Chains A and B, each alone.
Chain A
């Protein structure tokens, strides 16, 4: 009896519709588009700042537009989702063993959320928010 195995190709552009877990993965990956776009916007802002007061004022005006506010809300949502998935992953990537036992994953992820909150408050403080 000869072998004649049947190879099944994975559809390269539609595979993630096969299961909800793949859609969740893709939604996490897609957040990078917003993160990257926001980085580009910051670089443009720096360039406008270097170009002089008039250019900077124009940039600030553009930030107040409806399109810009919608973009910021989308980018914020994407960044929050991205950060949450990242913090939840830390417990897998950085296990801490004490003696024979491991520190619960929720403690490791929780510590990241606490550090995030502390740093966010520090940034808001130095930015003069309160």
Chain B
């Protein structure tokens, strides 16, 4: 077996200690890595061999859990999915943009979690039926209608990419709104009007100006930008029906 190729990697990591710092600052590390490694491996090597005080989140190391999102050379990435071979020179690693820094590369996701709850991201059945009547059935075509939007791993890269969220923190944001769309499209669901109270507001889809960055950085190919534009159309139709058609109700 061919031995793995080693490489001296230079990392510039943003550090912040909430107990002692008022500002964040960059710290440079030099660490020997295997060429095949990802940025997360390099950070783990730093933590193991050089600086055990470095903080960052990770869990699955396979782009599934969504824990290890960071800004890598200014781009929101899963650090377990950012291969060292894709980078030359110093690799700059920062916490996800637009979120408060808890410590070093760890951000505070509280705002996202609160917004996620507000869109009611669960099935609200059209009609409740007793268990004895069996399951709610769905055809493959009905599943495909929303399947793409159900692939979100809540990594928040889309929030870090969305300038609208950075400038207008009240914006519900790409992932939460996309999840609302996912349930709106589900044939078993009847909760769209309840979600519209959050979705069809200024803080909802109308704060989105379709920059499209959310879809460009999404590691799960969810395409939140498409979900939001589709919700703008349905919200506009609701408004037209309610205001311009006599007797119309949204």
Spell out A's residues near B (CB within 8 Å). 1-8, 10, 12, 15-16, 18-19, 21-22, 25, 29, 89, 92-95, 97, 99-102
Binds A, one of B1-9, B129-137, B139-147, B170-178: B139-147
Q: Cβ of B75: which chain A residues have Cβ within 8 Å of it?
A: 19
Known: A3-B102, A5-B100, A89-B229. A100 touches B140 (CB 8 A): yes
Interface set, chain B 176-226, CB cutoff 8 A to A: 209-213, 215-216, 223, 225-226
- Give A25 to B213 CA distance when docked, in angstroms: 9
Q: Chain A interface: which of B16-24, B31-39, B40-48, B80-88?
A: B16-24
Number of interface residues of B (CB under 8 A): 35
Chain A residues with CB below 8 A from B166, complex form: 10, 15
Contacts of B27 in A (CB 8 A): none
Contact call B144/A95, Cβ cutoff below 8 A: no
In the complex, what's the smallest C-beta–C-beta distance from A79 to chain B, in angstroms?
18
Chain B at the A interface: SS class: mixed
Taking the closest CB of chain B, its distance from the CB of A33, in whole angstroms, is 15
A31: min CB distance to chain B, Å? 14
4 nearest CB pairs, A to B? A5-B100, A92-B226, A4-B18, A10-B166
Nearest-neighbor residue (CB-CB) of B231 within chain A? A93
Question: In the bound complex, do residue A10 and residue B18 qualify as a contact, i.e. CB atoms below 8 Å apart?
Answer: no
Contact with A along B59-76 (1 / 0, CB 8 A): 000000000000000110
In the assembled complex, the CB of B151 is this many whole angstroms from the nearest CB of chain A, namely 15
Please determine whether A8 and B97 come into contact, CB atoms closer than 8 angstroms: yes
Separation of A1 and B103 alpha carbons in the complex (Å) = 12
Least Cβ distance of B164 to chain A in Å?
10
A5 with B18: in contact, given A10-B167, A93-B226 (CB under 8 Å)? yes
A43 to B235, CA, bound (A): 31
A-B contact pairs, 5 of them (CB 8 A): A3-B108, A5-B102, A6-B101, A10-B98, A93-B233
A81 to B53, CA, bound (A): 50
